[in-house]
Amino acid sequence: MYDNLNNEQKEAVLTTQGPVLILAGAGSGKTTAIVNRIAHLIKDLGVYPSQILAITFTNKASQEMKNRVKNLIGEDAINMWVTTFHASCVRILRREIDKLGYTKNFIIYDTYDQKTLIKDCIKELGINDKEITDKEIKNKIGEAKDNLISPDEFKNINQGNYRNNKIADAYLLYQKKLKLNNAVDFDDIICKTVELFIKNPEVLSFYQRKFKYVMVDEYQDTNKAQYELVYLLAKEHKNICVVGDDDQCIYEWRGANIRNILDFEKDYPGTKIIKLEQNYRSKSNILNAANGMIVKNHNRKDKTLRTEKEAGDKIKIYKAYSDINEGSFIAGQIKKLIDQDGKNLKDFAILYRTNAQSRIFEDSFNRIGIPYRILGGLKFYDRKEIKDILSYVKFLYNSSDDVSLRRIINVPKRSIGDTTVAKLQEFASNLDIPLFEAIDFINQDEKFSSRNTTALNKFYQMILNLKSKTELSVPELITEILKDTGYLEELKKSPDVEDRSRIENLEELVSAAAQFDESSEDKSLEAFLEKVTLVSDIDNYDETADTVVLMTVHSAKGLEFPVVFMVGMENGLFPGTSSFDNIEEMEESRRLCYVGITRAKELLYMSHATTRTVFGRTSSYAISDFIEEIPKDLKIYIGEETPVYHKMVKEDSVHSLRSLYKTDLKDKVETVIKHKDDGKAIPGQKVKHIKFGVGTIIKADSDGNCVKLTIAFDNMGIKTLMLDIAPLEFI
C-alpha cells in the first residue's frame, strides 16, 4: 500500500504510538508522509477520524492536507480536525469561552482594531505617545502573550522598570477593554485556549480524551503558547507527532522558539526521531548550494539533504550596476526563457526580503509587458472600504464591539464627529455600558445637543433595522448594508477615480460572500467573520494562474517554482543591516536564504546591485555573504565586470532616457567615482577605526557631497560614520 514511499517515509507512516519527531528537509515529501500516516491510522488501525487532530499554520496548508486525506480515505475525513492553530482554538473557544467570562459571540480583532484599542489605552492612561509608542506597546503585549505572560505577571516582573511598568498598565487596560468589547486578538486565540485548559481541567480532559493522535506541522515555528497548547493536548495519550525543519525556522522574530524543535526529545522522553533527507524537488546543484550555506549555522540539527536528480545548471549570480538594471535584466531573462526554452509565466518567482523591493520589478515587467502578480503588501480584506463594511457586519453580530462602532458611526458622513463620539464615550464609560447601548439613554442627558441626539438616534434606528436583517444570508446582508447605510451611494457620487476601484472591490466582497455561502458547510455570520479575519494573502494564491509571481521569501515558504530569482542579495539588505549585530538574527537570516534557495526546482538566479535607491538616496552595498558561502563550483557569475561608470553611460544611450535624468545619473556616477578614488570607501572593504577597532563597511550612502558609511565593527556593533571626518584607515 505504501510502495511509493521511501523507507524513512514509511517509517514515519508506521510509527504511530508515542512521541515522534519527523525532521523533514525542504522538498522531502513531508505532506505525503503525514497524509499517509493519517490514512494508516484510520484505515489500518481503526482510529476514528474524530480522534485525530492535525495542526498547521496556514489555511492553505490545512486545505491541502485535508484534500489529500480525502482522496485517500474518502468522505470520512470531514470529522477530522485538520485546521490551523487559530481555527482549532477558535472552535474550542466558541464552545467554552463563557468559562473565562466572555460570551460565545465574541469577535476577533485584527491588528488594526488592536492598534485602535491600544491608542485608546494610551490616551486613557495619559501615556506620552512620543515616549512610548503604540507600536512598542503592541509588540510588548504580543511578546508577552506569545510567552503566556498575563498582564498581572507582566506587571510583577517589571516592578522596577519605569517604561515596562507603564506598558504593563496599558496591557492590563487593553485586556480589560477587549473583554468589555467581547473581543479577542490573534494572540489571545491561542493563549486564552491555554488559559481555559489550565483553569478548567475537565475541559482539558475532554479534549485530551477526544484527540488520541495529535500532529503538528511546521513545528519549528511554534511559540511558547503553541508549544504549551500542544503539550497539554498530547499529555494524556502521548501520541504526538511533530513535523518540522529547524533549518526553516524563520519566524523567531515573531516569537517562534527554535528550541521547541531542537529540544523535543528532552520534552518528550522516548521520542522516535525520523529524518526525511531525500529531496524530490531540486536539481542537485541547487540542493548542494543550499546545503553548503546552511552548514554555517551552529544552532541546528545535523542533517544533509540528498537528491537523485541530475546536477542541472549552476546557480547564476548576476551583478547588476543598479536596482533598475537588476529589474530589466530579470525581465529580459524571463522573456528569453519563455521564448527560447518554452517556459511558462507561472514557472517564475521573484523572491525578495522586503515588500518595498517589488516596485522596481513591477516597472520592468510593465515596460516589456510581462504579466505578474504580487503577493503580500496590502491584503484584500485590509482595504479601507472592505474593512468599513466588515466593521458593520462585525458590529451587527456583536454590538459590544466599540472599536467597530467607532469606525462606522460616521462612515459615510452623518454628522457624528469626534466631539460627539467623545461625549458619548464618556457617557457610556460612566454607566459602564457599550457605546451602542448608551445611545438609547442620551435623550435624557442635557450634555447632548438636539443636533447630536437626532443624528445619533437616526444612526441607532438604522442599525436596529439592519440588525433585523441578520438572518439573511451573508451576501444578502452585505448588499443590504451597502444600500441602507448609503455607503455605496456615496462612492458612486464621488468623482475620484480611486472610488471607482473601491466600488469594484465591494462588488468583489459580495461575490466572495456569495461564494462562501455556496461552498461552506457552516454558512453563519460568525463563520464568515472568522474566515475573513483568519485568511492571509497566500491562501488565495492560485498556482494555476499563468503569471510571474512576486513575493517575500517568508511568503514563499512551502511553495516551489521551476525558476526562482532571489533578488537584492546584498549585505545590508539580505541579510539586513541589523543582522550584523547579533548571531541569532544572522542565523535566522541565513535560514531565510535557505528557504529561498530550496524553493527552486530547476534554475536559480541570485542577483545583487552595486547601487540602489533606498529611501530616496543612492546607496551601495556589497554582494551578500550568503552568496559567498555557496561553494564555488556550484555557481557561475554572469554579470559583466565592467566598471560602474561605463555601464551607466551605456544604459543612458541605450534607453535614451530624458536628458534631465541623464545629467542626474552622470552626477551620481561622478560622485561614486570620486569617492572610490579618494578612499576605497565601498561595501565589503575592511577598515580600522581609531576607537572602534576593526570592521567591515556594509553600506555606503552618497548624498550629494558627503558619504555616510555604515560599518559593522567586530566588537562594537554597527556604527554610521562620515567618510570625510571619521578617523578611518583602510586595511
Task: For residue 582, count other CB atoms closer than 10 A to its CB.
Answer: 11
List all residues 6 or more positions away from 424 whose beta carbon is below 8 Å from its beta carbon. Answer: 435, 438, 439, 442, 456
- By three-state DSSP, how is residue 689 classified? strand
59 binds DNA (CB under 7 A): yes
| Residue 87 near residue 115 (C-beta atoms within 8 A) | no
617 in active site? no
Looking at the Cβ atoms of 449 and 461, the one nearer to DNA is 449
Per-residue contact string for residues 366-395; x = within reach of DNA by CB under 7 A: ----------x--x----------------
Bridge partner list, 374: 550
Q: Which of 611, 161, 518 is nearest to 169 (CA)?
A: 161
| Residue 393 near residue 529 (C-beta atoms within 8 A) | yes
Alpha-carbon span 699 to 622, nearest angstrom: 7
Question: CB of residue 617 vs DNA: minimum separation in angstroms?
Answer: 7
640 in active site? no
Q: Please report where in the chains the cell 515529501 appears, as a residue.
A: 29
173 binds DNA (CB under 7 A): no
Looking at the Cβ atoms of 39 and 393, the one nearer to DNA is 393
Which of 51, 84, 220, 248 is flagged as catalytic? 248
Alpha-carbon span 295 to 155, nearest angstrom: 41
Question: Running DSSP on this structure, what letter comes out for residue 622?
Answer: P
Q: Which of 566, 670, 665 is nearest to 623 (CA)?
A: 566
Give 111-130 as a DSSP string: HHHHHHHHHHHHHHHT--TT
119 binds DNA (CB under 7 A): yes
Which of 96, 134, 217, 402 is flagged as catalytic? 217
Bridge partner list, 565: 350, 605
667 binds DNA (CB under 7 A): no
Question: Running DSSP on this structure, what letter comes out for residue 306?
Answer: B
Looking at the Cβ atoms of 218 and 347, the one nearer to DNA is 218
Looking at the Cβ atoms of 575 and 683, the one nearer to DNA is 575
The dihedral sign for the CA sequence 342, 344, 350, 356 = positive
Among 391, 485, 579, 610, binds DNA (CB under 7 A): 579
List all residues 6 or more positions away from 723 whose beta carbon is below 8 Å from its beta carbon. Answer: 675, 678, 679, 681, 700, 706, 707, 708, 709
195 in active site? no
37 in active site? no
Alpha carbon of residue 367 to chain centroid: 29
Q: Which three cell numbers stand for residue 129?
A: 505617545
Cis peptide before 562 (omega within 30 of 0): no
Bridge partner list, 55: 83, 216
Question: CB of residue 612 vs DNA: minimum separation in angstroms?
Answer: 12
Question: CB of residue 138 vs DNA: minimum separation in angstroms?
Answer: 10
401 binds DNA (CB under 7 A): no
84 binds DNA (CB under 7 A): yes
Alpha-carbon span 654 to 666, nearest angstrom: 15
Among 165, 278, 536, 671, binds DNA (CB under 7 A): 536
Looking at the Cβ atoms of 278 and 457, the one nearer to DNA is 457
Q: Which of 196, 205, 255, 269 is nearest to 57 (CA)?
A: 255
Question: CB of residue 529 vs DNA: minimum separation in angstroms?
Answer: 12
Q: Which of 268, 247, 244, 263 is nearest to 34 (CA)?
A: 244
Among 181, 239, 284, 420, binds DNA (CB under 7 A): 420
Question: CB of residue 65 vs DNA: minimum separation in angstroms?
Answer: 13
Alpha-carbon span 353 to 356, nearest angstrom: 9
Looking at the Cβ atoms of 83 and 607, the one nearer to DNA is 83
Question: CB of residue 692 vs DNA: minimum separation in angstroms?
Answer: 22
Among 253, 342, 444, 691, binds DNA (CB under 7 A): 253
- By three-state DSSP, how is residue 728 classified? strand
51 in active site? no
Among 195, 585, 629, 701, binds DNA (CB under 7 A): 585
251 binds DNA (CB under 7 A): yes
Among 147, 613, 671, 696, binds DNA (CB under 7 A): 613
Among 344, 415, 454, 515, binds DNA (CB under 7 A): 415
How many residues bind DNA (CB under 7 A)? The answer is 52
Per-residue contact string for residues 287-316; x = within reach of DNA by CB under 7 A: ------------------------------
Among 244, 475, 576, 639, binds DNA (CB under 7 A): 576
30 in active site? yes
Among 4, 71, 111, 465, binds DNA (CB under 7 A): 111
What residues act catalytically? 30-31, 217-218, 248, 599
Q: Which positions touch DNA (CB under 7 A)?
A: 57-60, 84-87, 111, 119, 186, 218, 221, 251, 253-254, 256, 353-356, 376, 379, 410, 413, 415-420, 534-539, 551-552, 554-555, 557, 575-576, 578-579, 585, 589, 592, 613, 615-616
